[in-house]
């Protein structure tokens, strides 16, 4: 049984001018996502600025999200860290808060070996009972989960059940699915590769695009899984310019700018991330208009 099938939003963390978390805005975004057919909420991931939230903010956001969603769709908490002990703590606290699963990014900066990754993820997973989604995003972490490593983890640790693949390497993903033979669920971590990942047996996407286009992102997956591959592909290709604009600066700078263009008032990211450059904002606004979300 998959944690979810479809499009899960990697939701932003709205900030006030003083950079405190704006929980009222977060609640508004959650309600809009659910109304827009989003299939899961991923709280405190990369897009949620997990790396610059304090532990108190991190856990408070998770608790708030679980309470606000109230079981309507799955809540998945980003609880990864480059420190195994920290990830264990966050994961255990997230489980206490009532999340449906945790998302564990590879240890950044440390650049663990494959044996180190196995030890790291096994230690965290064994400290909790909720399902674990591995998160492979080597462009941000400098660390790649090889297909053999992901399969070893899925086969040897009962609650490691899925992987968010954002390597961008479709050949690697194909190798993973060939080796896995059904032992691990696959989610796209790149909005411009939803259809390719689905074609390899993926269950859906953990999406930045969903923040500004929840229904369209849901529909890309839904159409594909219900046999309308042509319609899914057309919508995927139509979204490419917006996907490009949402990553023309480091995530979540553009997506926060996009939400602000939509009038959501989510603030700007915490330093060291800054406000989006004006020239890029013009490109983003045009892409949003072309996709029908502005």
Query: What are the boundaries of each domain within the chain?
Result: 6-226
**Looking at 164, 203, 223, 256, which residue is catalytic?**
164
- H helices of the chain, in order, are 23-35, 55-69, 84-97, 114-126, 138-141, 147-156, 170-180, 194-199, 214-225, 229-245, 253-261, 278-291
- DSSP string of 67-136, one letter each residue: HHHTTSS-EEEE---SSHHHHHHHHHHHHHHT-SEEEEEPPTTT---HHHHHHHHHHHHHT--S-EEEEE
3-state secondary structure of 223: helix
Q: Quick one: pLDDT at residue 86?
A: 97
Specify the pLDDT at position 151. 98
The 10s digit of each residue's pLDDT in 101-114 is 999 999 999 989 99
Q: Which residues of the chain have pLDDT under 70?
A: none
Examine the residue annotation and report whether 187 is marked as an active-site residue of this protein: no
Catalytic residue at 135?
yes
Compute CA distances 46 → 115, 196, 286, whole Å: 24, 22, 25
Q: Percent of the chain having pLDDT more than 70?
A: 100
Question: What's the pLDDT at 1?
Answer: 73
Residue with tokens 């004006």: 278
Predicted TM-score (pTM) above 0.95: yes
Closest CA to 76 of 114, 105, 119: 105
- State phi, psi for 212 to the nearest 5 degrees: -105, -15
The active-site residue out of 25, 68, 135, 203 is 135
What is the CATH superfamily name and number for domain 6-226? Aldolase class I (3.20.20.70)
Which tokens is 141 given? 């972490």
Predicted pLDDT at 184? 98
In 3D space, the residue among 107, 175, 131 whose CA is nearest the CA of residue 40 turns out to be: 131
Q: What is the pLDDT of residues 262-278, one digit of tens each?
A: 999 999 999 999 999 99
């Amino acid at each position: 049984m998959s944690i979810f099938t479809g499009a899960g939003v990697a939701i932003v963390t709205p900030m006030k001018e003083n950079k405190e978390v704006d929980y009222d805005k977060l609640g508004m975004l959650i309600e809009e996502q659910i109304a827009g057919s989003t299939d899961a909420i991923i709280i405190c991931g990369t897009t949620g600025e997990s790396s610059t939230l304090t532990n108190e903010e991190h856990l408070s956001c998770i608790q708030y999200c679980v309470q606000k969603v109230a079981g309507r769709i799955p809540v998945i908490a980003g609880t990864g860290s480059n420190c195994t002990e920290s990830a264990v703590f966050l994961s255990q606290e997230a489980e206490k808060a009532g999340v449906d699963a945790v998302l564990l990014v590879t240890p950044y900066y440390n650049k663990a070996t494959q044996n180190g990754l196995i030890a790291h993820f096994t230690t965290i997973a064994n400290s909790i009972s909720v399902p674990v989604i591995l998160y492979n995003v080597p462009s941000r972490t400098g660390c790649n989960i090889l297909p053999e490593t992901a399969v070893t983890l899925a086969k040897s640790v009962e609650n490691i059940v899925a992987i968010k693949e954002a390597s961008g390497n479709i050949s690697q993903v194909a190798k993973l699915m060939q080796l896995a033979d059904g032992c691990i669920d696959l989610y796209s971590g790149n909005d411009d590769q939803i259809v390719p990942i689905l074609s390899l047996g993926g269950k859906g996407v953990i999406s930045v695009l969903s923040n500004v286009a929840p229904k369209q992102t849901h529909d890309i997956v839904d159409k594909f899984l219900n046999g309308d591959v042509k319609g899914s592909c057309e919508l995927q290709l139509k979204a490419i310019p917006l996907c490009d604009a949402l990553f023309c600066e480091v995530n979540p700078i553009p997506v926060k700018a996009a939400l602000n263009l939509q009038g959501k008032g989510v603030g700007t990211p915490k330093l060291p991330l800054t406000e989006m450059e004006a020239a890029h904002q013009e490109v983003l606004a045009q892409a949003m208009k072309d996709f029908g979300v502005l």
